[in-house]
A and B are shown apart, each in its own frame.
Chain A
């Protein structure tokens, strides 16, 4: 089966580096990292991901605006977006809800939870 292409957009380079290593370790994904939110749309156009893991709270630009830019780009309209966020309460974390219409994962994430959410959204 072809590997899925995942773009991680998060200002924490330590986090994106580890996330890339972990996901690629499974053999199921090809992963690209972007630590500057303002470059996220351009990187996505070059990398052509199947799914973007997108941080919400970033300097210069927040994840909501990045998501809007991506949705507005006709080339990227079919790309799935999953938010990764630290600011979510216990109740919201367990709820499986949406933020701004996009599914989200609460940090810190486990590999298992991450893969489950990725696979769910790619299958949908």
Chain B
């Protein structure tokens, strides 16, 4: 076959659109694929016309401008992605290459181009992009849900632990009441026996009175523990009334002062006047504050500064016992009344801080305390819906912080 026939065979069978244009961008030759695009039957229907006859301006004008630039510069445009818009509303995408058409002398006499229909590919790409975006959004939603689930799980765990703790405490309470009764009766016998023997001259041994006194002291210690256990275990019936917390604090300070031995102590009061009233059981809350103040005084040994501070504030930020969860003690935005008791003692070892509210935990020497004071204190404050926290102060000593919701 001759070269011309081969070229015709190529032009008429290749699926890509091939065209040749003159200097005015008029079609001078196209292939069958191009005719098919415009739904034409014969070459004569396209020759001498421009893109403006077959495309909307949206495509025709940029294409015309590209051809002008190719003819002016002599530089081809390779694989440009073009959006082809037809008058009937049809839209397609093509990858187009435009080259300068030169005569035998190398003079540019027009352009020729080849356009590959990439509409399907483009639509697939767009579909993929949309799917990716939807997937990303879904992933974000899932991550949010995951976070919420984690949070809910933590909250549930916290509630579970609280419930377990409550059950334990209830069992301990029941046990304590039983133990108290069974232990106090033998203690009563021992105490009576010691009393009787103290008044009897049955031995000339000079150590006997001391021994009897030791037995008596031991009975008193055991009795103190049992009574503290009962305080801890008896049902918490509150007899509440509207009260200014400062009244309770002042009364507790008065009673706790008897624990102050020596002249090296200073008591500083920073009590905000006109605190919002709280619903408190005056007797029980007084007991709680006496426990805390007594501990603070004992922690300072021969001397130090005891500072008692009260104030009201509105919660503006998340912190210990403060958050947005309904399981937190207080929600951000709520007004609370705070009492802080600072001592200037030696502080509590960090590894022991989490245990201070445990029953029978004490940092005092054996025999100097039952280890139930803070346990009972926490129990009383919990019954009132408040919170109590204890931490070491950077400057030394301990701060006890009590919060009540108004």
Contact = CB atoms under 8 A, between A and B. Distances in A.
A119 to B, nearest CB: 16
Interface string B180-192: 1100110111111
Contacts of B234: 89
A91 interface: yes
Given A57-B181, A86-B181, A87-B180, A108 B192 contact: yes
A88 interface: yes
**Range class of the B interface residue count:** 20 to 34
Nearest to B228: A90
A91 B234 CA distance: 11
Interface string A14-48: 11001101100100000000000000000000000
Contacts of B193: 18
B237 to A, nearest CB: 12
Given A18-B196, A91-B287, A12 B227 contact: no
Contact of A21 (B181, B196, B223, B224): B196
Contact of B227 (A19, A21, A22, A93): A93
Contacts of A25: 196, 199-200
Interface string A76-90: 000000001011111
A93 B226 CA distance: 12
Contact of A91 (B192, B223, B231): B231
Contacts of A110: 191, 195
A107 B188 contact: yes
Given A89-B227, A89-B230, A93-B227, A12 B189 contact: yes
A74 B192 CA distance: 33
Nearest to A19: B192
Nearest to B283: A91
A111 interface: yes
A111 B195 contact: yes
Nearest to A88: B230
A107 B185 contact: yes
A111 to B, nearest CB: 4
A108 B184 CA distance: 6
Contacts of B315: none
A18 B250 CA distance: 44
Contacts of A14: 189
B238 interface: no
A61 interface: no
Contacts of A19: 192
Given A57-B181, A107-B184, A90 B230 contact: yes
Contacts of B200: 25
Contact of A86 (B188, B190, B192, B195): B188
Contacts of B230: 87-90
Contacts of B287: 91
A108 B191 contact: yes
20 contacts: A12-B185, A15-B185, A15-B188, A15-B192, A21-B196, A22-B192, A22-B196, A86-B180, A86-B185, A87-B184, A88-B227, A89-B231, A90-B228, A90-B231, A91-B231, A106-B227, A108-B184, A108-B187, A108-B190, A109-B192
Given A57-B181, A86-B184, A89-B227, 5 more contacts: A12-B185, A22-B199, A84-B188, A89-B231, A111-B195
7 smallest CB-CB distances across A and B, nearest first, come from: A86-B184, A108-B191, A18-B192, A90-B227, A107-B188, A108-B188, A111-B195
